[in-house]
Amino acid sequence: MATPSSPFSFLDDLFNRIGERLQPPAWAVHEIQHRAVLFLNHVLQQEPEAQQRLLRQQGRVVRFQWRFVTMELVATPAGLLDLAPPGLVPELTLTVTDESPLDLARATLRGDKPSVQIIGDVQLAAEVNWLVDHVRWDVEDDLARLIGDVPAHTIANGARKVAGALRQFVGGKPPQAGGSAAGPASTAE
């Protein structure tokens, strides 16, 4: 008797077929990537140590890949990120090896990093890993700027409880006391 497949395998297969057939136009991909860079720079500007580390990597290009999605970023003289101009050869390529978006979502809910294949400069890979480990979006702080401290804190506490419950449901790590919904506050080493 064959072992039953995951009930989510149908969704994985559907995602694969849709992704292969429906490719967004180049202008839409560029616009989405540009918005992602703006968001990443917003988060980086809240962490001076991260900007200093990126400043040391000025002009170096990193390619991120997952399935049919590719994005190349370059460190700027301001210690931030920008889309790399076409034609530059990346010094580091990071390819997420988990094919299933559902597996990636489960790993994220557990607080795990996805499996990544690293090709290229080891020191640059170490800097990218430091950024991933230490830079976090302070959602509560940004929300407080919009609606005030007390409502932002209340919403953030609710989000932390929901995230903790999801982590327990997925079978991952138990919720941490005092952690934020987006992870711990970034600290410099």
Residues sharing a CB contact under 8 Å with residue 113, sequence separation 6 or more, in sequence order: 107, 132
Average pLDDT over residues 22-30: 84
Give me the sign of the Cα torsion angle 167, 69, 31, 88: positive
Buried b (16+ CB within 10 A) or exposed e, 35-72: eebeebbebbebbebbbebbeebeebbbbbbbeeeebb
Alpha-carbon distance of 91 to 58, in angstroms, equals 12
Alpha-carbon distance of 25 to 41, in angstroms, equals 25
Confidence of residue 14 (pLDDT cuts 50, 70, 90): low
Does the pTM surpass 0.95? The reply is no
- Residues 42-53 have pLDDT tens digits of 999 999 999 999
Contact assessment for residue 104 and residue 159, using Cβ atoms and an 8 Å cutoff: no
Tokens of 125: 């890979």
Average pLDDT over residues 117-143: 87
Alpha-carbon distance of 96 to 128, in angstroms, equals 14
Is residue 124 scored above 80 in pLDDT?
yes
Is 111 strand, coil or helix?
coil
Alpha-carbon distance of 67 to 98, in angstroms, equals 9
Is residue 68 scored above 50 in pLDDT?
yes
Tokens of 4: 């039953």
In the block, tokens 């849709």 appear at 18
Confidence of residue 154 (pLDDT cuts 50, 70, 90): confident
